[in-house]
A and B are shown apart, each in its own frame.
Chain A
Amino acid sequence: EPEVTQTPSHQVTQMGQEVILRCVPISNHLYFYWYRQILGQKVEFLVSFYNNEISEKSEIFDDQFSVERPDGSNFTLKIRSTKLEDSAMYFCASGLDRANSPLHFGNGTRLTVT
C-alpha cells in the first residue's frame, strides 16, 4: 500500500539555523499538509497546499515558515530561523480530496532545536 514518507526521522539543529523537512506524498494525491505536535500536546494544523499554492494556513505558520513542491514529488517545509519552541514532531499528510477522502500521514520528523 502506498504511503507518505518523511525524511529525516530526527533532525537536531541549533537555534537560528534553517531547516528543511522533506516529505514524499502519495503519488496521485492532490492536497498536501503539514501538521506539528509539540510533546504531550495535540496535533496542530500548519498549512495546506493545492495546485502549487497555499490553500490555508494557521496562525502558527508565520513568515519563518514556507512550503514548496519543487519537483512534483517532494513537498518540503522550511523553517528559516529556528527557535527553541519549534521543537516538535512535524507530520506531512496528503489526500485526494479536501473533505471526502482520508488524509494519509507520514511517521513524522522529530525536530529538536538546541
Chain B
Amino acid sequence: DAKTTQPNSMESNEEEPVHLPCNHSTISGTDYIHWYRQLPSQGPEYVIHGLTSNVNNRMASLAIAEDRKSSTLILHRATLRDAAVYYCILRAYNNDMRFGAGTRLTVKP
C-alpha cells in the first residue's frame, strides 16, 4: 500500500485559513487522494478527493502537487467545529481504504 505522511498535530486560529499537508511520495498513477476527518465521538466524514487536478467543494480545497507526491487540504476559514483529526488516504481500485494516524487540528478562538 502506498503510504502517506502527515504531521501529528497542527493549531489554527478561528477564522484563519488552515493548510494541512500530506506527503505520498510512493503514490501510483491510479491512486486517488482522499481526505476524511473525524470529529470527536463521531464516525469519519468525507471531506474531498482528487486524482491530478486541484479540487474545490463547499467544505475545503485540495491542492495536488504536479508530481502528485504531496497534497494540501485547505480550510479557507477555520471554525471551532473544524477541530478534528484529518486523514489523508490513498485509494486504489485494487485495495480498500486504510486510515493512518492523521493530523489532529486544534482551532483556537
Contact = CB atoms under 8 A, between A and B. Distances in A.
A44 B100 CA distance: 9
Nearest to A56: B96
- The secondary structure that dominates the B interface is loop
A92 B96 CA distance: 14
Nearest to A92: B43
Interface of A: 33, 35, 42-45, 48, 55-56, 91, 93, 98-100, 102-108
A100 B92 CA distance: 9
Given A43-B38, A45-B96, A55-B96, A100 B43 contact: no
Interface residues of B, number: 25
Contacts of A108: 42-43
Interface of B: 30-32, 34, 36, 38, 42-46, 49, 51, 87, 91-93, 95-102
Contacts, number: 55
B64 to A, nearest CB: 14
Contacts of B42: 107-108
A98 B92 CA distance: 8
